A and B are shown apart, each in its own frame.
Chain A
Amino acid sequence: MKAPNPRRAPGLFATTLVLLRKDLLIEWRTRARLNALVFFAMATLLLFSFALGPDTKLLERNAGGYLWLAILFASVLCLGESFRVETENACLDGVRLAPADARAIFLSKALGNALLLLALSAVLVPVMVALYGVRIVTGVGDLAGILVLGSLALSAPGTVYAAISSNARARDVLLPLLLFPLVIPALLSAAKGTTLVLQGDPMQQLGSWQGLLLGFNLIYWGVGFVLFPRVIED
């Protein structure tokens, strides 16, 4: 076995982990983004119940959809912020000159965003259970599966679009305008899946919605991985 060459550049996986660690460390030291996300999403959940009146049956029936709308709205904040830290002081150029593979930048940003959304949903679910009076019928494992797949599905195309819109004019409008139509299939299947988890799944439909989410993830993580280097090239 040869000793590793100390000058060899780190591989894609190692670079991704280093970058992800850096992003999470920034997040941990400030905790600004996660705090903002949690309060924004909780306010959204509360607003749904105000807008629709205190009809507990209606809220309970639609809880899955409201949860995912809250996560979607919060994801726009999350994605936009993830590139703001890099555009300040031209940090992105620094990372690329390091040199880091652009695909590793994509993977680390998208994974970081997915982790934040997952942390957000871990906080939101108990709030939703309390506010809307729902029960988790088919088990916490199923719910966790949907939350993981859904967060991943929002973050892959979202990261590509956030990188684009962070450099454009009117970026606050542009990101939702590009992202929302695109993630409708993911939003639909995540909301349907969550509703099935909350209300029971007598027809065994959960698997097909999870399959749709998985397919969405495979397509958009693949496309993002291939196309992202072109987005941030100069």
Chain B
Amino acid sequence: MNKFVKFGLPALTLALLGAGWWLGLAWAPPDREMGEVQRIMYVHVPLQWMAMMAMFINFVAAVTYLMRQSWKTDAMAEASAEVGLLFGTLGMITGSIWGRPTWGVYWSWDPRLTSEAILLVSYTGYLVLRRFVEDPEKRAVWSAVVAIIGAINLPIVWFSVRWWRSLHQVQSSPKTVDPQMVLPLRVSAFGMLALLIVFLVHRYRIALAERKAEVALPEALPTDDPALRASHSSKVA
């Protein structure tokens, strides 16, 4: 692993998140209506954006796998689903912490919340499927199919606040928000993006190593790299 990914990127992540959250907590003004509670936005919104991005990466990796089989895209699909589920769950928890003082309840059956909950459950099902299939090739194909079918939910979640106007507010744009709030949100979002990349890279490397260990023993199963397979089989022998 090159030095930047191992040391530089985590340091950059910490710097960006630190700066973004300092700006959000100390520099940005409190919201006119919600007051200090609104500051959780600098965590909640980037988490949800990154969860959506990870799940979109999962969808792209699944489609790519079906078109051209490779352990790399399969490992990427596994990594992105798991990291996406983590970010989405944290996003939902921060959202409900915000909901209690603002709406008076931790949870409401609002379309945005409901569709997000469905999304998280379906990605849990996807990860369970991955654990329950032993054959790595079958697992890769089947989970790619399930990922594509499940990804139909993604646009529903994203547009739910526009389609059904309800409790959850519509996405704000920089035009409608105070510039002093836009900057901390942007910096935190880039920090969260860096964190997402750090997590994805590490999880991807674990998944790929697991896959290679699985397929190294029986020689008949393909790997991406014939040379690697030869070295694996010689190690086993």
Contacts and interface: CB of A to CB of B under 8 A. Distances in A.
Interface of A: 157, 160-161, 164-165, 167-170, 173-174, 177-178, 180-182, 184-185, 219-220, 223, 227, 230-231, 233
A168 B141 contact: no
Interface in B149-197: 149-150, 152-153, 156
Interface stretch (B22-30, B70-78, B124-132, B200-208): B124-132
Nearest to B150: A182
B132 A230 contact: no
A164 B142 contact: yes
A223 B149 contact: yes
Contact of A164 (B122, B129, B153): B129
A160 B148 CA distance: 12
B118 interface: yes
A181 B126 CA distance: 11
Q: Which of A157, A160, A178 is most buried by chain B, counting CB atoms within 10 A of its CB?
A: A178
B122 A181 contact: yes
B146 interface: yes
A168 B149 contact: no
A231 B146 CA distance: 10
Contact of B125 (A167, A181, A184): A181
**Mostly helix, strand, loop or mixed at chain A's interface?**
helix
Given A169-B134, A174-B129, A164 B149 contact: no
A184 B118 CA distance: 8
A174 B126 CA distance: 9
Contact of A182 (B129, B138, B144, B149): B149
B184 to A, nearest CB: 34
26 contacts: A157-B149, A160-B145, A160-B149, A161-B146, A167-B133, A168-B133, A169-B134, A174-B129, A177-B125, A178-B146, A180-B121, A181-B119, A181-B121, A181-B122, A181-B125, A182-B122, A182-B149, A182-B150, A185-B156, A219-B152, A223-B148, A223-B149, A227-B66, A227-B145, A231-B142, A233-B141
Contacts of B149: 157, 160, 182, 220, 223, 227
Contacts of B145: 160, 164, 227, 230-231
B141 A178 contact: no
Interface in B202-223: none
Contact of A168 (B124, B132, B144, B148): B132
Nearest to B121: A181
Given A182-B149, A219-B152, A177 B128 contact: yes
Contacts of B142: 164, 168, 231
A181 B127 CA distance: 14
Q: Which of B126, B142, B156 is most buried by chain A, counting CB atoms within 10 A of its CB?
A: B142
Nearest to A233: B141
B166 to A, nearest CB: 15
Contact of B128 (A161, A174, A219): A174
A183 to B, nearest CB: 10
A168 B153 CA distance: 24
Contacts of A230: 66, 141, 144-145
Contacts of A220: 149
Contacts of A182: 122, 149-150, 153
Nearest to B117: A181
Contacts of B133: 167-169
Given A160-B145, A169-B132, A230-B145, A178 B118 contact: no
Q: Which 6 A-B pairs have the closest CB atoms?
A: A181-B122, A181-B121, A177-B125, A178-B125, A169-B132, A168-B132
Given A157-B149, A169-B134, A181-B121, 18 more contacts: A160-B149, A164-B145, A164-B146, A167-B133, A168-B132, A174-B132, A177-B124, A177-B125, A177-B128, A178-B146, A180-B121, A181-B122, A182-B122, A182-B150, A184-B118, A223-B148, A227-B145, A230-B141
